[in-house]
Structure 1
Amino acid sequence: MQQQNSVFRDLLKLISWREFKRLVDMHKSDDLVRKFTTQHQFIALLYGQMSGAQSLRAIEATMASHQARLYHVGGKAPARSTFADANRQRSFLVFSGLFEHMLGMATRSFKRQMGEVVRLIDSTSLHLAGIGTHWAQFSTRVCGAKAHIVYDPDLGCPVYHMVTNAKVNDIVVAKQMPIVEGATYVFDLGYYDYGWWAKLDEAYYRIVTRFKSNTPLRGPREMALEPDSGVLSDRIGFLPGRQANSRKNPMQVAVREVVVMTETGKKLRILTNDLDAPAKEIADLYKRRWQIELFFRLMKQTLKITHFIGRSDNAVRIQIAVALIAFLLLHMLQKMTKAKHGFLELVRLVRTNLMHRKDFTRLREMQMPQPCDSRQLTLDWCSP
């Protein structure tokens, strides 16, 4: 009879181990290593993400209890000190590189049906505390980091990430992000930079953001409104000629202001360099920006990016990269199985059945006992 693999082993089969080995060799992360290899470290970190373990001790103890099944996937229960040393010393580039490679695989597997490429840009703050967090010093009493994310709302997953000190301004990271040709970029006030906007506009990228409350629109020209669009006004004009520091504004092209009313009754002034698309389309694009906020909330609810098992710069970067890989694996699993239940329920089912020998396409089904061989002797126990 064929033996069913555990759910964790089936998830590990989705990993590109050939690419993983190439990255290990490139960054020499296994040089002079005798026992606890980079693969052991990655499997332990991924197990921690999938199982919900919140500390090195929890990962060590729970993996030790499943050592027999971990052996068949190339994993081993780590010693806490060895595990901590690996997280502090091994290059995070191995894990971030694996995420980028797997993202490319997922993108090819789940091709979008529409031609337009939309990218949502935002960041989320991560609180750090304790010894070893001096690299993330935000103030005399607070340490923190930022995870900067570019999110694809059509694929439903992040396509780029960077981790920095919490002091680093969002626009500084945005200027380093790779830009996809012909894409629409949607972002909030953290990326309010006329110079960056001008470069995107010159390269024919569409931007959708919102005005600051004190930014006027010069020489506005009213546009006709479509009936029942929910748009209050649609105007084309120019941004101020001078910036706050009296320097010339590099964004001298015409822009568009689309005003809508939020559910809370607040007027929202949306800015775009697209002068031709319907106003409702622009409003709907900006509304999609909330999907990245929901992604941050989902990540913090389901994966471990609020409790860190290491506090060094390298350890935090590794843990976030592995968390994103875990999210991508679960996202791929949801697409492959065409699961009707939500992502949060899928995470709970995987967590509950992680080390069980069960088909991951049937996590919700009750596990029936294997039938006994009719030729095998059975005993009927009688009550006294």
Structure 2
Amino acid sequence: MRFTSSILGKLVEPINRRGFQRIVDDHDADAYDKAFRSWDHLMVLIYAQLSGAASLRGLEAGWNANSQHHYHLGSGRLRRSTLADANARRPVAVFAETFARLAGQLDRQARRDGRAMLRLIDSTPVPLGKLCGWAKSNGRIRGMKMHVVYDPDSDCPRLLDITDANVNDAQIGRTIAIESGATYVFDKGYCHYGWWTAIAEAKAVFVTRPKSNMALKVIRKRRLKVAEGDGFTVIDDATVRLASKGDSKLPMPLRRLTVKRADGDTITLLTNDRKRSAVAIAALYKGRWQIELLFRWIKQHLKIRSFLGNNDNAVRLQLFAAMIAYALLRIAARLHRVAMPILRFTDLVMHCLFERRDIAAIERPPPVNPSRSKPKTNPNQMAFVYG
């Protein structure tokens, strides 16, 4: 009979084993945990994400209960003490680089489509419990922060960074490699004039909101051709310059848009884009809600509210494992042309991780085994026959 891999086995196929081992060798990640290799660690943490395991004991029991599938995953049995040690010592860079490669796979499809490069930038807090006394506070929460550069076309973060909660968003924004021709959309937390200048010099575009204390001088008013958008109205379009008297400098003119939303609120936008219409620029900023939906989905469907370790390294590993699971679900949905909503697909995967069935037909019950032949003997062969 032809072998059929489990749902989990098919999900992890996009992770190239040789490429992963090169990452492990580069960081000498198996130096202290040779009995529990980095591949074992990755498989277990992906399973923890997709199965919803909330504790080391529960993860150990669930994983070992399916030991018949370990061979085809290239892994083995789990001891929670071994996992706890690996969580504390294994280099986070192994999981971070693995996620980056998976994100690159998702991005290739968007590049083939020839679409304009749109990048949404934002961060979300990751609160940690009282057991994580080492975690830093930003005045509102004590924990960490996940910084994301999100590509809405490929539906996957292209860049991911995890920092302490008190790290300023603009500090991380300045480390992002700027892509020529891309459009970056972010909120007022990423206000840094030097970074804005670098984006413009790289022939890229940004759309953001100014801080309330940013003084701007109007150079000229721009003519509004079409003012009505989807749920908003652009009521002003002007070319402006920074009017600060201090050391802050912004050696380029900007466009300032005043937009009235359907709820009556008015917001101000700043951009260096002189070609797009005012309505198109306002629509770009409105589309920033997609990254908020990403954060909401991650927090609702992946395990980043409770952690399998209370040290810094364990938390970071689990966050990257969550994003690896997210990327694998997206890749599987595309490769197998899953037509159902991603939320339903995720729920079905969580319930069928070790079932041997086709991902494309995951919502249908598995077929009956046709190799099981009918008995050749007559069940009534020992019965008396009276003539």
Counterpart in 2 of 1:278?
A: 277
Q: Which moved more, 1:346-355 or 1:27-36?
A: 27-36
Rounded Cα–Cα distance in structure 2 between residues aligned with 1:141 and 1:232: 35
Rounded Cα–Cα distance in structure 2 between residues aligned with 1:73 and 1:170: 39
Q: Which moved more, 1:301-310 or 1:124-133?
A: 124-133
Deviations 1:229-259 (A, max 9, x none): 33211111212233xxx32x22131110112
Counterpart in 2 of 1:357?
A: 356
Counterpart in 1 of 2:344?
A: 345
How far 1:75 moved relative to its partner? Answer: 2.1
Letter in 2 for 1:119: R
Quote the sequence identity (%).
37
Rounded Cα–Cα distance in structure 2 between residues aligned with 1:292 and 1:30: 35
Deviations 1:148-176 (A, max 9, x none): 11101111100001111101111111111
Rounded Cα–Cα distance in structure 2 between residues aligned with 1:15 and 1:198: 38
Among 232, 236, 242, the residue aligned to 1:233? 236
How far 1:72 moved relative to its partner? Answer: 2.4
Counterpart in 2 of 1:113?
A: 113
Partner secondary structure for residue 14 of structure 1: coil
How far 1:322 moved relative to its partner? Answer: 1.2
Counterpart in 1 of 2:290?
A: 291
Counterpart in 1 of 2:24?
A: 24
Counterpart in 1 of 2:216?
A: 217
Counterpart in 2 of 1:126?
A: 126
Deviations 1:121-178 (A, max 9, x none): 11000011243441x2217996310011110111110000111110111111111122
Deviations 1:5-30 (A, max 9, x none): 21011112221111110011111111
Q: 8 Å contact 1:130–1:311 — kept in the other structure?
A: no
Q: 8 Å contact 2:110–2:153 — kept in the other structure?
A: no
Partner secondary structure for residue 307 of structure 1: coil
Deviations 1:58-89 (A, max 9, x none): 21110111011123212223211110110110
The CA RMSD measured in Å over matched residues stands at: 2.0
Partner secondary structure for residue 235 of structure 2: strand
Partner secondary structure for residue 15 of structure 2: coil
Counterpart in 2 of 1:260?
A: 259
In the superposition, the TM-score normalised over structure 1's length comes to 0.92
Counterpart in 2 of 1:334?
A: 333
Letter in 1 for 2:190: Y
Q: 8 Å contact 1:256–1:275 — kept in the other structure?
A: yes
Rounded Cα–Cα distance in structure 2 between residues aligned with 1:171 and 1:20: 32
Gaps of 5+ in 2: 381-387
Partner secondary structure for residue 94 of structure 1: helix
Rounded Cα–Cα distance in structure 1 between residues aligned with 2:378 and 2:324: 47
Rounded Cα–Cα distance in structure 2 between residues aligned with 1:120 and 1:234: 23
Q: 8 Å contact 1:236–1:255 — kept in the other structure?
A: yes
How far 1:33 moved relative to its partner? Answer: 3.5
Rounded Cα–Cα distance in structure 1 between residues aligned with 2:194 and 2:329: 38
Q: 8 Å contact 2:138–2:166 — kept in the other structure?
A: no
1:32-111 matches, cutoff 5 A: 32-111=32-111
Rounded Cα–Cα distance in structure 2 between residues aligned with 1:302 and 1:46: 13
How far 1:374 moved relative to its partner? Answer: 3.6
Partner secondary structure for residue 111 of structure 1: helix
Paired residues in the alignment total 375
Q: Which moved more, 1:220-229 or 1:3-12?
A: 220-229
Distance 1:236 1:140, change over 3 A: closer
Counterpart in 2 of 1:325?
A: 324
Counterpart in 1 of 2:192?
A: 193
Gaps of 5+ in 1: none
Partner secondary structure for residue 137 of structure 2: coil
Q: 8 Å contact 1:209–1:286 — kept in the other structure?
A: yes
Counterpart in 2 of 1:159?
A: 158
